[in-house]
Every structure is written in structure tokens, then in C-alpha cells.
Structure 1
Amino acid sequence: MAATAVSICSNALLMLGSQTINSFDDSVNLNRAQLCSNLYPTVRDDLLRAHPWNCCVKRIQLAPDSDAPVFEWTYAFQLPSDCLRVLEVVSRDCNIEYKLEGRSVLCDEASIGLRYIFKNTDENTWDSSLVGLATIAMAAALAYSITQSTSERDSREAALERALRRAKAVDGQEEPPETLGDERLLAARMGGGW
């Protein structure tokens, strides 16, 4: 079955012993549907921002805005509308100095590459561990409203923290380790030459 925002919320409600919803406009379970509809976008975006999930990373090339910053930096670049978190700003394949102000990247380069976490609203493209994590996060967000129990809420929040650590570790292990610094310099110091 394809993952959707509604299926994630329904499974979270099931975890709390509540009735599921068929849509965010479900007239039978209107209160639960509205609660899920209100909470889900914030929970999703916070979860996506929390880690550079492989299924939620994009790369694009940006051109500078026509209006330059008033002082200090030479160029300003508008962040994409779907950008939740900047991961890397590069020019000519090298990381550069930059500053984020509002929805702009300020720097001294005329063209930049941006690697960022985007607002991936197609849950069907998510990794299965991220779908499971989103379900646990929704259960934690809904716990008090559905059960009126602070101990249930606290238990769900603790479960979320454990699941988040595990999902981050699994996702992070799918990529090769990052290297730091100039490998040519390291090779020269170790006698490998250039």
C-alpha cells in the first residue's frame, strides 16, 4: 500500500487505540480528521528538517537576485520555495562562505550550487523507516489530544526519540563517509605525493 499523509495519520490513531480517518475531510470522524490535518504539516516539516534524509535532498544551481545586499556581501540568492534546510552551498565544486538571512543566501560568488532538504510532500517516495518514524511522530503529537493522558504522551515522545536515533543511523549508513580536507595534501604528508 502506498504511503500517504492520511495513512500515516490513520496508523498513528490506531497506535493510540482510536478510530482511523479516510481523509482530512472525513465527516464521520471530523474532529480526528481536523486534528490530523492541523498537526501533520508541522510534524512532517519538523521531521524532514531534523536530518538530511536521502529521499528529501535536492541539488540545484542558483543565479543571483537582481538586488544585491546593501553591504558586506556581493550577491544574494533566493532560496527555493520548497527549501526546509540548507545543507551545503558550493561554487566551482568548493564549499564557500555564506550567510543565510530570511529566505536568501548571501555570498561573494556570482553563481552557486545549493544542496538542501526539500519539503517532500509525496510520502510514497519516502524510505520505509521515515514513513514509520512519521507515524510515531504523529502518534506522539496526537497522544494527549486523543487519550487525555500525560503519561501516554510522555511515553510516545520517548518512543519517538528512540526511533529518531535509529532511523537517522540507518539513513546515514547508506552513504559513504564524508572526507575532510584536501586528500592530496594528506597523501603528500603520508609520502604518497601528488
Structure 2
Amino acid sequence: MTATAVSICSNALLILGAQTINALDEDNDRARLASNLYATVRDNMLRAHPWNCAIKRVQLAPDADRPAFGYARKFTLPGDWLRTIEIEGTFDFTIEGRSILSDSEAINLRYVYRNAVESTWDAALVEVMTLAMAARMAYAITQSTSMEQSRMQELEFTLRKARAVDGQEEPPQTFGDFPLLVGRFTSGGVL
């Protein structure tokens, strides 16, 4: 079955022993609760880890307006940006609001984006999101703090496991050929 926002919320409701929903805009309390929480929980879960299914690369050109001081250029972050993973080629930058400030001519940005197409998600992310929705809806649905705590613990455990599996799908990052590292780990910088 292909994951959707509705299937994720319905499965979360099933975990809590509640009736499922067929749409987020249904006229009942369960659907209204799921609809109110879903986008925030989704963005939180996507931002919590650089999921392979939610990573993009883009080259940013500088904006016409410049920062008042400190940096030569300002770059507007993409509209779907949630978290910066890497800015290639520079370590001298800062993120302020929805902008990157830097002296670079262009920015090669690798970032976590707001992937709202659940059918493209990894199965582990779907499970994590389902448990996150169950944890967030637990008290409202069951009126039980122990159920809420139990769902939060299950979410934390599953999130740790999912992060480990997702992280193993990429080769390890290297430090590269930086002169400081070469000098630090060799005798006088000579290999």
C-alpha cells in the first residue's frame, strides 16, 4: 500500500484503538485533530534527521540586496527548505531567517526539504511518522498520560533505529585534503 497523509494518520489512530479516517477534512474530531497536527509533526520528523528520501541539492545565486554588514552577499533559502546539511566549498556563512549570508559568489546547498509526497518516503520514515502522530494524538484520543508516554518511548526507540539504518545507506563523509588536517596527522605536513 502506498503511504499517504491519511493512511499514516489512520494507522496512528488504529495504534491508539480509535476509528480510522478516510480524509483529513472529514467532519469529526479525529480528522480535525490529525489535520491540525500533521504538517507540524511531518516537518519536525523530516527536520529531525537528514532522511535520504528528503534531500535536495541546489545552487543559489545571490540576491540583489546585500546584508547591512559582515558578509558581502545574501542568498534566499528555497521555499521547501527545512534544514541545511551542507554548503559546499565554504565554512564562512551564517543562516539568518530565511537567508544564508556569505562572501561566496554562489552557494551549493544540500538540504532537507519539505517532502510532502509520502509515497516517496522510505518505509522507516513512514513508520516513524505514524508513531509520531500516534504519540502526538495519544492524550487527546485516549485521555491517558501513560498511553502518551508509552507512545513517546516507542517513537524514540524506533526513531533511533530508523536513523541508524538510513545513515548506513551513505558512504562515510571524509574530511578531504585540508592543509590543516594534513599538517595535523602527518609529520610536518609531509605524507
Native 8 Å contact 1:60 1:113 kept in 2:
yes
Partner of 1:4: 4
- Superposed, 1:153-192 pairs within 5 Å as 153-182=148-177, 185=182, 189=186
**Offset from partner CA, 1:91-113 (integer Å, 9 cap, x none):** xxx23310000100000011111
Partner of 1:34: 32
* Structure 1: distance between partners of 2:63 and 2:178: 35
Structure 1 residue 70 corresponds to structure 2 residue 68: yes
Native 8 Å contact 1:88 1:95 kept in 2:
no
**Offset from partner CA, 1:147-171 (integer Å, 9 cap, x none):** 0000000110111110110000000
* Structure 2: distance between partners of 1:125 and 1:168: 17
Partner of 1:61: 59
Partner of 2:104: 109
Partner of 2:145: 150
Number of residues of Structure 1 aligned to a counterpart in Structure 2: 186
Partner of 1:43: 41
Question: Alignment identity in percent?
Answer: 56
**TM superposition shift of 1:183:** 7.4
Q: When the two structures are superposed, what TM-score results if normalisation uses the length of structure 2?
A: 0.93
Partner of 1:23: 23
Q: When the two structures are superposed, what TM-score results if normalisation uses the length of structure 1?
A: 0.91
Over aligned residue pairs, what C-alpha RMSD do you find?
1.7
**TM superposition shift of 1:146:** 0.4
* Structure 2: distance between partners of 1:95 and 1:7: 42
Native 8 Å contact 1:24 1:36 kept in 2:
yes
Q: Give, as a single letter, the amino acid of the residue that structure 2 aligns with 1:3.
A: A
* Structure 1: distance between partners of 2:72 and 2:17: 56
| Structure 1, unaligned runs of 5 or more | none
- Aligned to 1:182, the other structure's residue is in SS state coil
* Structure 1: distance between partners of 2:70 and 2:178: 32
Native 8 Å contact 2:16 2:138 kept in 1:
yes
**Offset from partner CA, 1:55-111 (integer Å, 9 cap, x none):** 000000000000000101000000000000111112xxx233100001000000111
- Aligned to 1:99, the other structure's residue is in SS state strand
Moved over 3 A (4+): 183-186
